[in-house]
Amino acid sequence: MKIRKNAFTLVELLAVIAILAILIIIALPNVLKMFKKAKENSFVNEVRSTFRTAEQKFIADGGKGIIPYNEDIVLYTNVSVEDFINGIEPGEGESLSEESIEEIRNILSQINLNMSGRKDLFYFIMLNKNGEVYLTIVGDKNYSIRKTAEFEANCSYPTLIKGVNVDEITSDDIREPIDNLGETFYELMNELQDKVCPAGNELD
């Protein structure tokens, strides 16, 4: 008597492959979506970590910044001298003297958080003397988060309504990557200025 070997026929193998292919097609979008969400959540955690490092340095330094001519502002950034100058209004950066550039370089070296870990993560975090965050930019080659505080518009005496809250930052705040950090910083500074003193309401 012949004993039948347990083996798949070609038709059965093709059927199994077809079923697996269908399952992959169905599952792939969800897998990719989960992968993207995991990357976004990881980025948000890095943003929060950067915030907390800035807060710790703010406390350690006694809330004192070194921004020239403005003791009410504390700024932390790892922007390069080149990006900082490139972000200045067109034409202004070209007129900077070597002495001014060296002064900028010295200031930037002092307000760098010198964080360990990823080297491609850049940031601009601006606080007032009370530790409330006015403006933040954090990004890498894939994502960025840019937020400014809320103010009651008043060109004479603007009132801070709400600073940027690190615990309220979510993946919904993620935007496209930034090409030029210095340029984006000045754009957000202008946005902040418009909140404080909207165009047309300036003092004479």
Query: Does residue 160 sit within a domain?
Result: yes
Q: Is 123 exposed, middle or buried (0-12, 13-18, 19+ CB in 10 A)?
A: buried
Nearest Cα residue to 143 out of 129, 161, 122, 125: 122
Query: Does residue 136 sit within a domain?
Result: yes
Tally of domains in the chain: 1
Give the pLDDT score at 204.
43
Query: Does residue 2 sit within a domain?
Result: no
Name the pTM for this structure: 0.73
Give the pLDDT score at 10.
75
Query: Does residue 35 sit within a domain?
Result: yes
* Residue 45 φ then ψ, to 5°: -65, -35
Query: Does residue 202 sit within a domain?
Result: no
Query: Does residue 5 sit within a domain?
Result: no
Question: What is the span of the domain harbouring residue 94?
Answer: 10-196
Encode the chain (204 residues) as per-residue pLDDT tens digits.
Answer: 455 556 667 777 888 888 888 887 777 777 778 888 899 999 999 999 998 998 888 888 877 666 655 667 888 888 888 777 766 544 454 677 888 888 888 888 888 888 877 778 888 898 888 888 888 889 988 999 998 888 888 787 778 889 899 889 999 999 998 877 767 877 888 888 888 887 655 544
Query: Does residue 4 sit within a domain?
Result: no
Cα dihedral 36, 37, 38, 41 sign: positive
What is the length of the chain? 204
How far apart are alpha carbons 108 and 79 in whole angstroms?
7
Query: Does residue 54 sit within a domain?
Result: yes
Cα Rg, the chain, nearest whole Å: 26
